Structure formats: structure tokens, C-alpha cells
Amino acid sequence: MAKILIAGCGDLGSGLAAELVINGHEVTGIRRTKAQFPDGVVGITGDLLDMNDERLPDVDMVFLIMTPNGRHEDAYRLAYFETAQVLIRRYHARDAQPKVFFVSSTSVYGQSQGEWIDEMTPAQPASVTAQILFDTEQSLAAAFSSVAVRCSGIYGPGRFRLLETVLSEKDWGANSWTNRIHRDDVVSALVLLAKGALAEKPLPEQVIVTDQTPVSMWEVKLWLATCLGANVTVNSGEGFVPTSGKRIQGQYLLSQGWQLKYPSYVAGYHELLREFNAL
């Protein structure tokens, strides 16, 4: 049994926490607001940035899974980089340091001309928020044995933004490549990584979590519009083939036996549409 801290026990963190408890681990979860935690999880409610070291338990493993309060520089810096500094302050000087997993984003790959991206591709942050994510990865790697878990666009239960965008019938804008991953598949990937670390397997410094099926954004919206009975609102004179974005695939998890529950957006959005239509 391992002692595991989930710093950021929201939707994704709670899903991971529940699986780790089932696997027999002692799990502590931190979330900014609300006191609801999965059964068996020791819950701490509060802002990690305001916590002194005594409130953070001694652990064997840490998952940093934060969500910024906005999509701007200050929100990202507080949610990611500054929060990472709290963990470094608390655990860096320990004789037995925890293994640290940081849930990052494939946005650190700034390439945007249809390139194929994998775990061997160097990160090239092209925005200030992506740079903050990369800086956080680097900061944690300098202090711990850590893994940057770079997820493509996460969708799943309660995440209706794209559906609502299609229903709004706003112009779709220029076409681009998009890469997605279902929330449940992110959870299973994190569980697999935790098992690898506890078995003392060597882990790469970066792991990509994506459904391996990059697609045109127009294709996704066209399929959703058909399912939702919404109008197609393409006013761009460009062709259907995307001229921007990137196509992402990750090999490490597959090499470790990871199996996707939702290997494409079609499989994942069927369930999400049922949830959305039941509201």
C-alpha cells in the first residue's frame, strides 16, 4: 500500500482517487472548494497556495492535477507554477522524495502546421500559458523524479462546451486538426503510471495521453451537428483539409498495455450526447 496525495481532487482527480482506493492505497485529496471526496479518501479543503507544510502529509507519490480559474497568464501561473513551488518546498528536502506526476497539456507543443507529434518531439511553447506549463514541468523535474503527463483536449461527463458551441450555430471559423482524450481514459492512464512507479519501472520524463485519433475539427462539429440537429455554419472559403493544428500520438502507454475505452471522439461523444440530451 502506498500513501498518495492528489493535489487537485476535482473531477479528474476524484476519478483517479477512487481507483487508487480500490487498489488498496491510502489517498489524500486536496480541493479548493467543497468537502465532497470519494469514499475512502482523506479530504482537505482549501487553497494549496495558502497551506503550510504541516497540512501536507508524508506521501510516496503526488499527482498535481490543477485547473486554472481562467485562461490567462496570472491564472495559469497561480494554478500550476506557484502550486508546484509549494510541493517543492514541502517535499524536496525529504530523504525519500515522492514520485511526482504533473498533469500537463499537449499545448506545450506549439507546432501548428499539421505536424505529427509524439513523445520524441521537443516542446515548443508558442503561448504564454503553454510556456507556464512547460516551466512547471521543468521546475518539478529539477526537484523530483517526475513525469509530465501531457494530455490532449479532455472531454467527458459534464463537459458540454463543444456541444453548446455547435448548438449556438456560431461560425465555425477556419478548420484545424484537433486531438482529444476522454476523462475516463486519462484516469486509466494515470492509474497505469502509478502502478509502474510503484513497481519501480523506469518511466519517461514526458508521457502523451491522447486517443491516437487526430481529426479535423470540422469533422467533429459536423458529426455533432448531425446528432444535435444543428445547422452547419461554415462560412470560410478554405478547403476541408486542415491547414493548422497538429496531429498527436503517444506510444509509451500503448507499449505498457494501456487500452482505450474510447478510442475515438465518436465512441466518447455518444455517451456524452445521451447525458446532454437528458438534461
Residue 75 maps to a domain: yes
Residue 232 maps to a domain: no
Q: What is the pTM of this model?
A: 0.96
Average pLDDT in the chain:
96
Mind listing the pLDDT tens digit for each residue in 142-191?
999 999 999 999 999 999 999 999 999 999 988 999 999 999 999 999 99
Q: How confident is the model at residue 236 (pLDDT cuts 50, 70, 90)?
A: low
E-only strand ranges, the chain: 3-7, 26-31, 42-45, 61-64, 99-105, 113-117, 146-151, 153-155, 177-178, 180-182, 206-209, 215-216, 245-248
Residue 92 maps to a domain: yes
Q: Alpha helices of 105-216 — where are they, by DSSP H?
A: 128-143, 161-168, 183-198
Residue 229 maps to a domain: no
Residue 224 maps to a domain: no
> Domain count of the chain?
1
Among candidate residues 94, 99, 114, 81, the one with its CA nearest the CA of residue 195: 99
Q: How confident is the model at residue 36 (pLDDT cuts 50, 70, 90)?
A: very high
Residue 176 maps to a domain: no
Neighbouring residues of 32: CB distance < 8 A, sequence distance ≥ 6: 45, 46, 47, 48
Mind listing the pLDDT tens digit for each residue in 52-94?
999 999 999 999 999 999 999 999 999 999 999 999 999 999 9
Contact 59, 106 (CB under 8 A): no
What is the CATH classification number for the domain harbouring 191?
Answer: 3.40.50.720
Torsion of Cα atoms, 125 then 14 then 7 then 27, to 10°: -140
Range of the domain at 204: 3-155+182-212+247-261
Query: So what's the pLDDT on residue 40?
Result: 98
Residue 64 maps to a domain: yes
Mind listing the pLDDT tens digit for each residue in 189-224?
999 999 999 999 999 999 999 999 999 999 999 999
Q: How confident is the model at residue 235 (pLDDT cuts 50, 70, 90)?
A: confident
Residue 97 maps to a domain: yes
